A and B are shown apart, each in its own frame.
Chain A
Amino acid sequence: MKAVSVEEAVALIPNGATVMVAGFMGVGTPERLLDELVRQRKSELSIISNDAAVPGKGVGKLFDAALVSTLTTSHIGLNPNVQKQMMANQVAVNLVPQGTFVERIRAGGCGLGGVLTPTGVGTMVEEGKRKIEVDGKHFLLETALRSDFALIHAFLADYLGNLAYALTARNFNPVMAMAADTVIVTAEHIVPVGVIAPDHVITPAPLVDYLIANG
């Protein structure tokens, strides 16, 4: 793990990168990294994020600045900007059931090729996918998702990069921290090693590549 400034970290992300952004409706989202992506005008991004949040918040900021070309997500209903950009063919939106979304990322982080899920069988979601029967039950083969970068927000990070989360801000953070080539983390508090007890570490330090220093 390397401690860097937010400017340095975002400079590593090229235009056109595939980026996972953790958070749920902007809760547990690394806002400082998103602000910096907007400031550095990183464009043509392929974003993987549970939802599109709302304008002005979380991943919504990237759509306000029209920096996204592809969005893989489960819900965009509360962000009218994304719906407009989708209708205008400015953003390609891949809608994925939320449980499938997280399992595809988990698979990507755990070295699996994908998962078999009953969710989506007999609906529009099954179009173009392999259906597999196991013990008489039907499942869809949903392939693994990985990304170039994962942007993570923790409550606590220690000097090694061990992470702990708070309340409902945990959501997709620990799963996405497993599934990207480069993992960049912001934390509300950076604390000495040992402050987070071993039992309370959720994301182990070796998964973290960059920790943004707190100003």
Chain B
Amino acid sequence: MDAQSIIARRVARELRAGNLVNLGIGIPTLVANFVPSDLKVFFQSENGLIGTGPMPEQGMAHPLLTDAGGRPISALPGACVFDSAMSFGLIRGGHVDITVLGGLQVDAEGHLANWMIPGKMVPGMGGAMDLVTGAKRVIVAMQHAAKGKSKIVQKCALPLTSSRPVDLVVTDMAVINFSGGRITLQETAPGVTVAEVMAVTEADLFIPADVPEMRI
């Protein structure tokens, strides 16, 4: 299984019936593909929709119904639309149960950096700062390392997205949580050993006695 599918499948297991969920672009978007059909969750698109459905079939796209990246989507029965003030009121106001976001770095304190690389890439923060600040639970879905460098660092060198720590990081190698304010290895990916995770992790992970394998 490829890295992105491992991450998306594992994140999907965090969703609970009735959750209002916001998925960021990139790997997080894939999470929707792995939600069991009998699990009813609400997906929010921050451009003003709750109840996003899959991309419509060829020829069925509506130009006024898109996701936050401007791509055509569908709206499920029971969907509703609203303006951007409402959309971010939902996000900042703590009404979103889970947000899943991509990341550039996450550090030992759970701080996320995901919106710019100074001098190199300045796309803007979009809704990321509000999502991390306001959602009840923040999950980061990203590759464990990029170009051989750990993305789980002791302290973020890149500009932070929020001073609020994230709750869970899911990578192609591990699941990491921050319960009790301590960066803790919760699970390893199938076929990956604890030693292998530690070898590619810059931050000083706390390793509990029992680290089970991810169920995906």
Sample of 14 further A-B pairs with CB below 8 A, known A119-B162, A123-B129, A125-B125: A25-B47, A25-B69, A78-B69, A95-B124, A97-B126, A98-B84, A102-B85, A118-B134, A119-B92, A167-B64, A170-B48, A170-B81, A170-B83, A171-B48
Report the count of interface residues on A (CB-CB < 8 A): 47
Partner of A27, one of B46, B47, B75, B126: B47
A175 to B89 Cα, complex, angstroms: 13
User: CB within 8 Å of B: which of A163-178?
Assistant: 166-175
- In the bound complex, CA of A26 to CA of B66 (Å): 10
Tell me whether A168 and B81 are in contact (CB under 8 A). Answer: yes
Are B160 and A122 in contact, with the CB atoms below 8 A? yes
A 94-136 binary contact with B (CB < 8 Å = 1; else 0): 0101111011001000000000011111111100000000000
| B163 at interface, CB cutoff 8 A | yes
The complex places the Cα of A194 from the Cα of B83 at a distance, in Å, of: 23
Most buried by B among A83, A118, A122, A167: A167
Which 4 interchain pairs have the tightest Cβ spacing? A77-B123, A122-B163, A25-B70, A99-B88
Q: Is the CB of B45 within 8 A of A168?
A: yes
Q: Is A155 interfacial (CB 8 A cutoff)?
A: yes
A29 to chain B, nearest CB (A): 11
Q: Which of B63, B84, B122, B128 contacts A24 (CB 8 A)?
A: B84
A155 to B133, CA, bound (A): 33
Cα distance, A171 to B88, chains bound together (Å): 11
Please state if A121 and B123 are interface contacts (CB–CB under 8 Å): no
Q: Does B41 contact A (CB under 8 A)?
A: no
- Please tell me if the beta carbons of A102 and B84 are within 8 angstroms of each other in the complex: yes
Using a CB–CB cutoff of 8 Å, the interface residues on chain B facing chain A are 45-49, 62-66, 68-70, 75, 81-85, 87-88, 91-92, 122-130, 133-134, 159-163
Q: Cβ of A170: which chain B residues have Cβ within 8 Å of it?
A: 48, 81-83
List B contacts of A173 (CB < 8 A).
Answer: 83
Find chain A residues with CB under 8 A from B69 CB.
Answer: 25, 78
Is A121 within 8 A of B47, CB to CB? no
A106-B85, A122-B162, A123-B162 known; A169 vs B130 contact (CB < 8 Å): no
Q: What's the minimum C-beta distance from A175 to chain B, rounded to whole angstroms? A: 5
**What distance in Å separates the Cβ of A60 from its nearest Cβ neighbour in chain B?**
11
Closest chain B residue to A166, Cβ basis: B64
Query: Does A86 reach chain B (CB closer than 8 Å)?
Result: yes
> What mask results when residues 124 to 162 of chain A are scored 1 for a CB within 8 Å of chain B, else 0?
110000000000000000000000000000010000000
Q: Which A residues lie at the B interface, using CB under 8 A?
A: 24-28, 50-51, 53-54, 73-78, 83, 86, 93, 95, 97-100, 102-103, 106, 117-125, 155, 166-175, 202
Contact present for A95 and B92 (CB under 8 Å): no
Q: Are B129 and A125 in contact (CB under 8 A)?
A: yes
Q: Separation in Å of the A191 CB from the closest CB of chain B?
A: 17
User: In the bound complex, do residue B163 and residue A121 qualify as a contact, i.e. CB atoms below 8 Å apart?
Assistant: yes
Bound complex: CA of A61 vs CA of B70, how far in Å?
A: 16
Q: How far is the CB of A96 from chain B (nearest CB, A)?
A: 8
Do A123 and B83 touch (CB < 8 A)?
no
B124 close to A77 (CB less than 8 A)? yes
Question: In the bound complex, do residue A27 and residue B70 qualify as a contact, i.e. CB atoms below 8 Å apart?
Answer: yes
Interface-centre pick from B45, B70, B82 (highest chain A CB count, 10 A) = B70
Provide 9 A-B residue pairs closer than 8 Å at the C-beta atoms, listed in order of the A residue: A25-B66, A28-B64, A77-B123, A97-B130, A99-B127, A99-B129, A118-B133, A119-B162, A123-B159
Question: In the complex, A174→B124 CA distance in Å?
Answer: 23
Q: Tell me which residues across on chain B come within 8 A of A167, comparing CB atoms.
A: 49, 62, 64-65, 75, 81
Across the interface, do B133 and A119 meet the contact criterion of CB distance under 8 Å? Answer: yes
Q: How far is the CA of A172 from the CA of B81 in the complex (A)?
A: 12
Known: A76-B124, A98-B84. A123 touches B70 (CB 8 A): no
